[in-house]
Structure formats: structure tokens, C-alpha cells
Amino acid sequence: MKRIIFMTLAFMSAAALQAQEQTSTLADTLALEGSAVVAQKTLVKMDVDKITYKVEDDVDAKTSTVLDMLRKVPMVSVDAQDNITVNGSSSFKIYVDGKPNPMLSANPSQILKVMPATAVKHVEVITNPGARYDAEGVGGVLNFITGTQQGSGSASKPFDGQYGSVTLQGTTRGFGGGIYYGLQKGKWAFNLSGNASNTYINGSEVNIERIQKAETGDFLTSTSSLSDTRTPFYNGSFSLSYEIDSLNLVTMGVGYTGTDIFTESHSRIGMNSPLMEFAYGVSGSMRSLMNSVNANVDYQHTWSDNPARSLVVSYQLSATPTDTDMLNRFDDSLMPEQRTDGFTNSISHTAQADFSTPFGANAEHVLNAGAKFTARHNSSLQDSFVSDVLSPESCVDYDFYNNIGALYAEYDGKFGPVGFKAGARYEHTWQNVTYAQDQSKDFNLSYGNLVPNASLQYNISMVQNIGLSYNMRISRPGITYLNPFVDNFTDPTMKTYGNPDLKPETGHNISLTYNYYSPKWILNMTLRQGFVNDGMSSYSFYDTEHALHTTYGNIVNSSTTGLNAFVMWIPGPKTRILLNGSTGYTDIRSKELDQRNSGWTYTGLLSLQQTLPWDLRLSANVIASGNTVTLQGWTTGLWIGTLGLTKTFLEDRLSVSLSGFTNLSEGRGMKIKSVSETNEFVSTTDISIPLRMISLNLSFSFGKQDNVNVKKSRKSIEEDNQINAKSMTETVGTVIRM
């Protein structure tokens, strides 16, 4: 006889019921048929302030990149050009194991599209960062958990253990591999990981046509280029923890990420106007070596009479040096060879102290407070040469010192089925900008920002809740936006440069969220409204010599209304269907440019994961995105399909995966069209990138992972971890077949 027994909250303790902790976890769905056990691990965990996607439990992680996995993460969207938005905003911050990673924040798509998904265990989406977080990042925070596990710092029984894994991948566009090893010896624990890959894309095409409207007649400029790109990628990390005693914990870590992008191209550039007509060819090469180094040390102290009370003192060093060298040789022998050597860097020193204490009869109230200071130095040194002769007028030697001091306080309380959280953070910024060539441009700036946040959550029942939140965020310009170096390397008729006078933009976000979870369904719906004043935006204009300039300015006021939906259906123990999508309406206005644009956009992913006979695991995905809206135009969307099969051996220690993906539109490659239009010009860009790929992945693991636990302090720099947070549903919907 067969019965289906749903055990909802069967193992929740009485204390957890009384405290009404708002963390929600959907436990593993198990099917017991005779002596066989078939399990589906939960992919999503919904907490008070964040949503966690468990990448390591997704079968697609074996053959995907981190960018591919982000398409499945609730509240995150990735469009046709791999642009990432969090909570409907392209302004967000990226952290690795709770530490900010400037390189990933500055170049998220470029790095994540070559980073293997096996390098990440979980992705945390924090759309309503509390006062404990930096105020930067309008959309919120993406936190990538790579391997270190959360430790409480309390005493635990010492044991010895080790765990390791090795992965190898070969594709029609490159190859790669990775290693992970963890070891625990008594109170000492450490782990190290490393990943490397080399991918290439040959035959990318870019065609640009610009029409400048003038009284004497239209000026038509066209550029056609064909390029090949090779992208080696390297990533490594080391973490160490030592429990001095039951009340004191010391942790440290070092991480490195690097990518070496090399592109060779040939372009044809021409201009046709009533006054002139010319055309020429140019062969170019570019090498960009981007690096990111992070190191941190944390000390945590807890109290014996109240283990949930903690003091954490942290220090972090981060650096992101980047070398970019470009060379152009013109087909016309009369035009001299051009070369550019560029170096940019951002070095940050950060010190932080955090204190947290619960109070109340059942510790249902928590007070958090802390202080932080960051000293950041951005620099840019760009040298341009014509026939190996330095051109001083085209060189830039630029330094940007940015010091930020912050104080915060935050209250988190539970009142029966109601949860309330509110806080404020004050940040004061001191800026100093210097130019080596022209000191008359030097300037100093000092300003402060008070950043409030508040959220209210109500438990409708044990399996559903609703929440309302408000937060204010700011976004400071990075060195890419600030760097005044004029890049007209490939096409002299186009000039691109930053604006050192940019100021931070301010964003206000209101969201209404509904969560539901059952044995067969997980649902997250978020209705959001965002406002940005004095927003940073790129814009273009022509000069008197018919060259198109593109730069940045605080010129935009925007409003975005959107809906994010994440739905997971588990109809049986061998099937999982997932839908992750968003749609929204954006209105962008600029008084300075006397322009306005608006429109609807959407992104979505439909995923099927099915266990077939012989324990073959099938994964099929359709990825879609619609047009995106910019201040001066729009960009088309894209449809992509992926298919994969995975088989495990040796008690799941050996995994073999075969997968492939292709575009679902016409043609062999990914085709993207962008249009920008003003009263004085129309610019159209058509991009075609070969997309189809087949990959084979092998993975082997040894040891027991649960026995290796490199601990982390509860609140290191930029981290927001729940203290003693209990699952709202420790076990929800366990399915037992008898």
C-alpha cells in the first residue's frame, strides 16, 4: 500500500514557533520506494533580507558559467548583451564571501561569463540591504559564497577531516578546470581553491552606421569590423580559521581573480558627406590584463552569558590593477602607426567594527551598531604614441583619493507574526582629485549622506508571508566613469572618455514582496518602484569636426515600475520546473539634453530538470529578453536555448556532463541591434557573435565535505548574516512513499 504523508513543520521547535523567525527554507523532497532513495535538493532559500540560490545543488552548475546561473536567480536579470540588473537596477555591488570585490563590481559580465559555476556554492541576493551594508549599490548586493561555511565561533568537538574535488571541461570554444581542497585539524581549518580556463570567440562582427544631420547635408560615417578574442581566466582563494577558545575566533583569507583578454580585429572606416569622402582600413590588437587581489583578517569575540552577543573587528585590503595596451596599423602607408599604453588601479584599505546584541525575554529583539573607514585610491596613467613618439596632449596622469567614514545603527524586532527592521547609516566622503599635467584642474570635495532603511513583514501563515520595504541607496562613480582619457583608438571619428566631475546618484526603492512555499511550489513575487535623481548616464554628441563624443553625466531622472516573479514547481521527485522572469516600465528624462525615452522591457528563463531512466539528469532551458531602453535609444533582445545531460558514477563522486547551447533566432550567431537618436544624429549598431557551443565536463570528489568547516566571523566587512536565525520551516513538505 502506498501513502503520501506531508509533514509540514514537523520538526520545528517550540522556541522557534514562539519567536516566529522569518527565515524560510524548503527542505529536501524525498521519495522512498522500497530501499531506493530519490532526492531533490532545494535550490532556493528565502530569508528576511535576502534570497539564496544554491548553485552547487543545480545540475546545470557542472557545465555552466556563473553568468548562466544568474539567469535562474530570483530578483536578478541578464539581458541579451549580458548586462546584469538586480532588483531592476544596473547599479549594484558584488561581494565574494561577504567581502566587496571591486573588480567584479566594475566588470561583472565580462568576468562572470568566463568564471565556472562550480567555483560558487551559493548566490545571495540582498535587495534590501540594512544599515550595516555600504550605502553604495542602488539595486542591492550580490554575494557569491565560494566555499567557506558560516561558523558561529562557539566551541565544537574537534575532529579531523578533508574534502576535495577536481573538475575538467572541454568545449568547442576552449577548455578549463578547477580544484578545491579543504582540511580540518582540531580547531584549525583551511581550504583552497583554484580555477583556470581559456575561451575564444572567432568571427565577431560589428557594423556601425552614423548619420549626422547638418544644414549643409548629412554626414554618413560607417565602421565595419571583424574580430577574434581569446580570454584566459584565473581564480584562486585561500581561507583559514582558528578557534582560540569558545569565545574567540580568528579568520583570514586571500583571493585572486585575473583575466587576460586579447583581441585582434580588422576594420573598415569611411565617411561620405557633401564636403568630403574617404575610406581606409585598420588592423588592431588589444590586450587587457585585469587583476583583483583581496586579503582580510577578522577577529570575533562572543559573551559567555549571551552567546548571541558579538563584537567583530575586521580589516581588508583590495587592489584591482589593470594593464591595457592597444596597437593600430593603418592600411594607408601615409597614416602613422598608433599605440596606447594604459594602466589603472584602485587600492582600498578598510577597517570596520561591528557590535550586535539581542535583548528581550526570548531574544526577539536585536540591536546592531558599528563604524567603518575606507581609504581608496583610484589612479590612471595613459600614454599615447604616434610612430613610437609620445603625444603629450593625449596622455593622462590622474589620481582620485576617496575616503569614506561611516556610522550605523539598526534595530530588528519580532512581534508575534510581525517582523520589523529599521536603521540608518551616515556616510561622509572626502575626495581629492589631482592631475599631473595640469594642476589647475585639481579639486577637493566633501559631502555627507544619511541613508535610512525600513522593512515590515507579516506571516500570513506558516507557509506564506508578505513584506513591505523601503531603502535609500547611493552609487558613486568608479574609475571607468571618472577617467578623462580620450579613447579614439579604433575609430578616430569616435571619442569615448569619462567625466571626473561626476557626483554620486541617489536612488529610492519601495518594494512589496509575497512568498509562498509548499511541498510542490515555491513562489516569490516582488512589485517594485524605484526613483533615481541626478542619475549617471552615458550620452553622445557631435563636435564641429564631425567626431562623435560619448561620455557620462549626472543628467538623468528615472522612474522604474517592475514585477519580478520566481516560480518553482516540483510535480514529482524526478521533475523540477522553474520560471524566473521580470517585466517593467522605465521612464528616463534629461532636462540638460531635453530628451525623454520610455518603454517596456522583459527578461525570463524557463527551465526543466528531469531525472530519466538510468539516473540520467536532463536539463533544458529557454532564455529570453526583450528590448531595453536607454536615454537616447534602445537595444534588441535575444532568445537562447540550452540542453544538457548528466550522469554520476561511484556513489556520485564522479560526474560526467554533456551540454550545448544555441541562439533560437535566425542565423548562426547572436544578433543584437542598438539605436541611438537625437535631433542631430542617428547611430545604429549591429553586432553578430558566434554563439553555438558544445561542452563536456568531468568532475571527481573525495572525502566528506561536512567535516571541513572553515569558519567565518558573524559580521566581517560588508557581511549581513542572521544571528541564530532558525528556519521558519525546518522541514516543509517531506514526501514519503511507503
Collapsing DSSP states into helix, strand and coil, what is residue 232? Answer: strand
- Cα dihedral: 257, 603, 50, 250 (round 10): 0
Cross-strand partners of 355:
311, 369
How far, in Å, are 50, 194, 207, 236 from residue 258 at the CA level? 29, 12, 30, 9
Backbone CA torsion sign across 98, 99, 100, 103: negative
Per-residue model confidence (pLDDT) at position 354: 94
Query: Terminal CA-to-CA distance of the chain, rounded, Å?
Result: 7
Distance of CA 513 to the CA centre of its chain: 22
* Cα 318 to Cα 323: distance, rounded to the nearest angstrom: 17
Q: Which residue has the cell 531622472?
A: 557
Cα Rg of the chain (Å, integer): 27
Query: How high is the pLDDT of residue 311?
Result: 95
Between vectors from CA 473 to CA 472 and to CA 475, what angle results, nearest 5°? 155
C-alpha–C-alpha distance, residues 150 and 162, integer Å: 17
pLDDT of residue 40: 52
The domain 4-737 is placed in CATH, from the list 3.40.50.1000, 1.10.10.1590, 2.40.170.20, 1.10.150.120, at 2.40.170.20
Pairing of strands 310-319, 277-302: antiparallel
What are 87-141's pLDDT values in tens digits? 767 777 788 777 777 667 766 776 787 777 877 888 888 877 778 878 776 667 8
User: Which three cell numbers mark 39?
Assistant: 532526492
In angstroms, rounded to a whole number, what is the distance separating the alpha carbons of residues 171 and 168? 10
Bridge partner residues of 290 (DSSP): 259, 322
Residue 332 is given by DSSP the state S
**Interatomic CA distance for residues 711 and 153, integer angstroms:** 7
Tell me the three state secondary structure of residue 118: helix
Beta pairing class for 122-126 and 99-100: unpaired
Sign of the Cα torsion 536, 537, 543, 547 reads positive
Rounded to whole angstroms, the Cα distance separating 80 from 691 reads 12
**Distance between CA atoms of residues 318 and 321, nearest Å:** 10
Residue 495 CA: distances (Å) to CA of 477, 637, 671: 20, 27, 25
Cell of 213: 544631420
Beta bridge partners of 41: none
CA dist 448 and 274 (Å) reads: 53
Number of Cβ within a 10 Å radius of residue 260: 16
Distance CA 27, CA 634 (A): 43
Domain boundaries, the chain: 4-737
Q: In sequence order, what DSSP letters do the residues of 470-487 get, joined into one string?
A: EEEEEE---HHHH----B
Positions in the chain short of pLDDT 70: 1-41, 47-49, 79-81, 88, 102-103, 106-107, 110, 137-139, 147-160, 333, 479, 488-492, 667-668, 704-738
Is residue 526 within 8 Å of 511, Cβ to Cβ?
yes
Alpha-carbon dihedral angle through residues 386, 387, 390, 393, given to the nearest 10 degrees: -20
